[in-house]
Structure 1
Amino acid sequence: MQESRSYRLAFYGSGSEYFKILIVNTILSILTLGLYYPWAKEKKLKYLYSKNTFDETPFVFSGTGKEMFKGFIKAVGIFVLIYGIVLYLALNGHVAAGLIFFYAAFIAIIPIALHGAYKYRMAKTSWKGIRFGYNGDRKELVGIFVKGILLTIVTLGIYGAWFSMNIRRYILSNISAGNARFVYTGQGNDYFWLNVKGYILTILTLGIYMFWWQKDQFEFLVNNMRLEQEEDVVFFNSKATGAGFAGLMIVNLLILVFTLGLGFAWVVTRSMSFIMNNIEASGYYSLESLQQSQQDYSDATADDMADILDLGIV
């Protein structure tokens, strides 16, 4: 490993700029009865990605409205088919079978949507011309997800911490930037006790500790991430504080309340700025040996499915 150095992460977007994009998107979506949604999504993502920087260089999102429109039509078709089958079963007196099919379909769709969404979103993300990629296996992710759901139900929610970490570790550890790969090492038992502590202290402090609980969760996610490139490693660390989270959330809430929701653009940009400015990166990577190794991928169906399911793909 070469001599360690620090790399700056930052977000340079502004609420006023993002507000203009959202207003135009809203008007055009209304005029087109929602058909403009994929192009609205393209404009939002391209703006937000371009305002995030690592080592003073912005990220680039190259997905297009046309790709996402095709994916949106397919995604809507899939959900219409599912609801159609459920309705058919219910109208023919098979209500129980309809409910079983409904829940089974969505348990299967969620990991498939996650897999495809990360595959598309990462393939359309680049930095200094180097494309990101997601290299996970769909069947493997579905297996982890189904096992996690079943064990979480059987343990009355206790296994949820392990379930969450297994999914996060699998997805993040299969994301690469060229020939450099991310590694996530968070474990379920550590995350479980972190949340037990947060839950108890939040109750004892009448909700005040909630902000420090969020700080601990953010810290756990960030501090267990690293980027490996052959023998070189870049480590990520959180410098966020509970007081910082409290200030962010309280001000965001006030903005939304006093603007009757019109301040949403400022809430988004303030939140992204807080997140990026509170992540430290240190170590070493060689830009000269960072090579293009990820293939392009243009099927946005799963990405649109993830949006419909509100899975929060970043």
Structure 2
Amino acid sequence: MENSVNHEAAAQPAARTSKVAFGGKAGEFFGIWIVNLLLSIVTLGIYSAWAKVRTNQYFYGHTRVDNQPFRYLATPIQILKGRIIAVIIFALFFVLSSLSPMLTLVLALAFLFVSPWLIVQSLKFNLRMTSYRNVRFAFHGEYKGAFKYFVLLPVLSIFTLYLAMPWALKKMDQYLCSNISFGGKKLHVSTDTSTYYIAALVAMAAIFGLMMVFGILTAVVAVIAAFSGEAAESAEGRGIFALLLSGGVFVVYFVGFALSGAVYQSMIRNHLFERTELPGIAKFKSEMKVMPYMWLILSNLLAIILTLGLAYPWTKIRKAAYMASVTTVAVYPQIDSLVDQAQNDSNAFGEEAAGLFDVDVSLA
């Protein structure tokens, strides 16, 4: 029996394992970004369809796995047509909702039922427009599943005082990943609910810990100020203390937001990649660390604020480079024999409507 197992292991083709490589440069993308921005303003937003395609083509083309780049295949006209229809619907939604509060409630309820369709259409279009080794990705999810996982479960979790939300988030991720295919081969996902609860608890503990430390420091400063004499009792002294307190609250808010997000996203992404594979084609690994990712979030945000948005291209390139550096893919030789599969036609309306109505689903 042992010899048989060893023989099967030896017969299995060896995987080519490598880090995901991202070769984008901040200077290059800044040129693309500033031209996109200026032309979009001059054309009253019409050029934004071309801007989106140029941006996606740049990031996809500079992302490589096994020394092979990704490709973004959508055309600006596809994006523009979908965007025009989405804008018209949004305008109608805005006009009708302004007529009466009751109509606003009806439209909000209608949007609740439409949003799963928008999510599905957005994913189908985006993945169909993504290719690797001339083989396209595909999304096979349907409205029923999207409604269940993105509407029904989150609403029901409210009645559990959000205690069921980590489980609902796990079901969302599983629905998304298990319906993605590459060359006709579907991803296999086997995530644990316990990991989602642990990640949520650790993220909450990080916030509460930070708040406690800030509260203790504030109390210490207040006590020192109380014993510092007349200066602390003056209006100027109280004003300085109030200013420092406000600044401290502001800093704690952003650091807490970054810390909790880094904790949760790192734990979940690492777990999701470890438990997701394309059987016989590829396996994935993520090694995100909390502190480096938190610093990335905070420093990117600070750079954008201090430069009035001009550092946005640099932050986008920086984040893409970091995400690539912590991601490893093991590719098996069978990937070389995959061929593109015929897919149902779709259009960009779902994607653009989803973006316009702020329905966004991101894949790690």
Q: TM-score, normalised by structure 1?
A: 0.88
Structure 2 residue matching 1:43: 3-state secondary structure: helix
Counterpart Cα distance in 2 of 1:87 and 1:300 = 28
Alignment of 1:89-100 (within 5 A): 90=100, 95=101, 97-100=102-105
**1:171 positional shift:** 1.7
Give the counterpart letter for 1:104 in structure 2. Answer: L
Assess if the C-alpha contact under 8 Å between 2:123 and 2:139 holds in 1: yes
Q: CA deviation at 1:276?
A: 1.1
Alignment size in residue pairs: 305
User: How far has the Cα of 1:294 moved from its partner?
Assistant: 4.1
| 1:61 aligned partner | 72
Which of 322, 325, 329 is residue 281 of structure 1 equivalent to? 329
Query: What does residue 119 of structure 1 align with?
Result: 124
Residue 261 of structure 1: aligned partner: 309
Distance 1:287 1:68 in 2: 30
Q: Counterpart of 1:308? A: 356
Q: Which has the higher helix share?
A: 2
Alignment correspondent of 1:219: 270
Of the three residues 98, 101, 109, the one matched with 1:87 is 98
**Secondary structure of 2:309's match?**
coil
Partner amino acid, structure 1, of 2:182: A
Counterpart AA for 2:124 = K
Check the 8 A contact 2:124/2:346 in 1, yes or no: no
Partner Cα distance (2:108, 2:195) in 1: 30
1:289 counterpart letter in structure 2: S
Aligned: 1:200 with 2:251 = no
Does residue 170 of structure 1 match 2:158?
A: no
How far apart in 1 are the matches of 2:89 and 2:259? 42
Q: Which residue of 2 is the match for residue 252 of structure 1?
A: 300
Question: Is 1:153 aligned to residue 158 of structure 2?
Answer: yes
Aligned counterparts of 2:88 and 2:362: Cα–Cα separation in 1: 21
Tell me the distance in 2 between the aligned counterparts of 1:127 and 1:216.
Answer: 27
Secondary structure at the counterpart of residue 24 of structure 1: helix
Measured at CA, do residues 19 and 283 of structure 1 come closer, stay the same or move farther in structure 2, by a change above 3 Å? closer
Where does structure 2 lack aligned partners over 5 or more consecutive residues? Answer: 1-11, 212-255
Given the two structures, how large is their TM-score scaled by the length of structure 2? 0.77
Partner of 1:74: 85
Q: Is 1:44 the equivalent of 2:55?
A: yes
SS of the equivalent of 2:301 reads helix
Q: State the AA in 2 paired with 1:304.
A: E
Identical aligned residues as a percent: 27
The 2-side partners of 1:195 and 1:106 are apart by 29
AA in 2 matched with 1:15: A
Residue 232 of structure 2 is matched in structure 1 by: none
Partners of 1:144 and 1:249 in 2: CA distance:
28
Q: CA 1:146/1:212 → structure 2, altered by over 3 Å: closer, same or farther?
A: closer
* SS of residue matched to 1:286: helix
- For residues 99-136 of structure 1, give each alpha carbon's deviation from its aligned partner in whole angstroms, at most 9, with x where no partner exists: 43132122123211110011111111111111111111
Aligned to 1:295: 343
53-62 or 203-212, which moves further after superposition? 203-212
Amino acid at match of 1:279: T
SS in 1 for 2:187: strand
Q: Give the Å deviation of 1:233.
A: 4.9
What's 1:241 paired with? Answer: 289
Q: Would you say the 8 A contact 1:306–1:313 is kept in 2?
A: no
Mapped contact 2:145–2:175 kept (Cα < 8 A): no
Shift of 1:220: 2.7
Q: Give yes or no for the alignment of 1:29 onto 2:40.
A: yes
Q: C-alpha distance in 1, partners of 2:46/2:281?
A: 44
Asked if structure 1 preserves the Cα contact closer than 8 Å seen for 2:131 and 2:137, the reply is yes
The structure whose Rg is larger is 2
Superimposed CA distance per residue, residues 269-294 of structure 1 (whole angstroms, 9 cap, x where no aligned partner): 10011001101123625133312114
- What CA distance in whole angstroms lies between the structure 1 residues aligned with 2:162 and 2:36? 39
**How far, CA to CA, are the matches of 1:15 and 1:42 in structure 2?**
18
Q: 2:148 aligns with which of 118, 137, 143?
A: 143
Alignment partners' CA distance in 2, 1:309 and 1:254: 28
- Deviation per CA, 1:39-87, whole angstroms, max 9, x where unpaired? 1111111111111111111100010110011101111222223333323
